[in-house]
C-alpha cells in the first residue's frame, strides 16, 4: 500500500491519500548530482513533512539502497537529513533492509550503516 512500484504498477490502485512520494536520490540519473545532492534531495522529504495534513508524520520508509531498478545508493548525508526532518515532525524512520541488508553492502551488515544513521525500525522480511 505504500510502495509506488506497486500502487502505480499494473493492477495497483493508485497512491493512497496518506502516502507522500519523494524523488529517488539518484546522483547518476537524477536531477541533483553535485556536492549538495543530499541536501537538495532531502529537501523533498522536508517539504513532504511540512505538507502533511496535520503537520504530523507517521513514518518514513526507505530502502538503504533502492533496488527495484538496480541499486541506487543515496548521497552521503541524505538519510541523516531525512531522519532529522521526519523525527522533528513526530515520525519514525524505517530502514527496509530486505534486499540490501545482511552483508550485501560489503563491510557493512546493514545498508543504513553506510550513512551513519540508526533507524527506529528495521525490516528484514515482508509478506
Radius of gyration of the chain (CA): 14
Q: CA 40 to CA 112: how far, in whole Å? A: 19
Residue range 106-121, pLDDT digits in tens:
788 999 999 999 999 9
- Whether residue 127 is predicted with pLDDT greater than 70 in this model: the reply is no
Nearest to 52 by CA among 81, 90, 8: 90
C-alpha to C-alpha distances, 73 to 9, 31, 53, nearest whole angstrom: 23, 15, 30
Residue range 87-96, pLDDT digits in tens:
999 999 999 9
Residue range 34-92, pLDDT digits in tens:
999 999 999 999 999 998 877 789 999 999 888 766 788 999 999 999 999 999 999 99
Q: What is the mean pLDDT of residues 14-39?
A: 92
pLDDT at 5: 79
Cell for 14? 493508485
Amino acid at each position: 500500500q505504500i510502495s509506488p512500484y506497486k500502487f502505480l504498477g499494473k493492477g495497483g490502485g493508485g497512491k493512497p491519500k496518506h502516502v507522500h512520494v519523494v524523488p529517488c536520490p539518484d546522483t547518476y540519473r537524477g536531477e541533483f548530482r553535485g556536492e549538495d545532492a543530499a541536501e537538495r534531495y532531502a529537501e523533498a522529504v522536508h517539504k513532504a513533512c511540512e505538507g502533511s495534513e496535520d503537520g504530523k508524520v507517521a513514518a518514513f520508509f526507505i530502502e538503504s539502497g533502492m533496488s527495484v531498478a538496480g541499486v541506487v545508493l543515496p548521497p552521503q548525508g541524505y538519510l541523516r537529513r531525512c531522519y532529522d526532518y521526519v523525527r522533528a515532525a513526530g515520525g519514525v524512520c524505517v530502514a527496509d533492509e530486505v534486499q540490501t541488508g545482511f552483508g550485501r553492502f560489503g563491510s557493512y551488515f546493514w545498508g543504513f550503516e553506510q550513512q551513519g544513521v540508526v533507524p527506529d525500525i528495521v525490516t528484514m522480511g515482508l509478506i
